[in-house]
Amino acid sequence: MLEDESDRAALLGLSPLPVPGQPYYPCSPLGDAETMVRDDENWATMWMTATDQAFDVIASLVDLDPPGGEHRVTLVFVGLTPDEQSILPDGDHYQSALQGVGHLGSYRWASRTCSAPVELWVETQDPQAAASALLAAAPQPLLDAMHITSQPCRVSTPIVIHPAQRPATTPDDEKAPIVIRPAQRPATTPDDEKADDDRTD
């Protein structure tokens, strides 16, 4: 996603695709067989590519990881037992640890019966410092169950910072609600606003 006007303009010179617009993006998308770009004049430009070569073309037009740019750092605890869930700290604990290096934008509960975060999304301009703060703030007995990734907000592919050594999410984790902290509620589309019924502030 691109919000900077000059970066958006660099992609808007691509050729229109023979695809109609839709309510949220009334103009036809731009691109080619391997690239699609959609623009919302009031918000941002969204893009996607199907091949490495197409990604490289986008990267040649726009700096996808500019100095001082926003990153998202994600912390996930995987495969926790109920006893391990019981020692998870709350979201405020992590926000205090991130003071000065990032903001805890949202998180997902461990389960419907445990409201401690099992997955956290942090917005930061210093992903290494934010990851270090999360590692220091997490319960030390659970370090092997932690998985931390980072990605520039302009790119959807994360880089692994701290690998977990346990299986992926459990069914209970998948059912757990997502908590959006009011201090950093993201911009929403009409569909997002409908989804808020399933979220807890």
Extract the tokens encoding 124: 């930061």
127 and 82: one domain? Answer: yes
Residues 8, 13, 14, 18: is their CA dihedral positive or negative? positive
43 and 89: one domain? Answer: no
Q: Give residue 19's domain range.
A: 5-61
Spatial separation of the C-alpha atoms in residues 26 and 38, rounded to whole Å = 9
120 and 49: one domain? Answer: no
128 and 96: one domain? Answer: yes
pLDDT score, position 100: 92
12 and 81: one domain? Answer: no
Tens of pLDDT, residue by residue over 11-45, are: 888 888 998 888 877 888 999 999 999 887 767 78
pTM for this entry: 0.69
Spatial separation of the C-alpha atoms in residues 89 and 91, rounded to whole Å = 7
91 and 188: one domain? Answer: yes
Is 149 strand, coil or helix? strand
Spatial separation of the C-alpha atoms in residues 182 and 105, rounded to whole Å = 9
95 and 188: one domain? Answer: yes
Overall number of domains in the chain: 2
111 and 42: one domain? Answer: no
Q: Is the pLDDT of residue 188 over 60?
A: no
pLDDT score, position 88: 92
Spatial separation of the C-alpha atoms in residues 108 and 111, rounded to whole Å = 8
Question: Which domain-ending residue is among 61, 79, 104?
Answer: 61
Q: Is the pLDDT of residue 49 over 80?
A: yes
Tens of pLDDT, residue by residue over 53-112, are: 999 999 998 998 888 889 999 999 998 998 999 999 999 999 999 999 999 988 888 777
Spatial separation of the C-alpha atoms in residues 59 and 55, rounded to whole Å = 6
Residue that the structure tokens 């992903």 belong to: 127
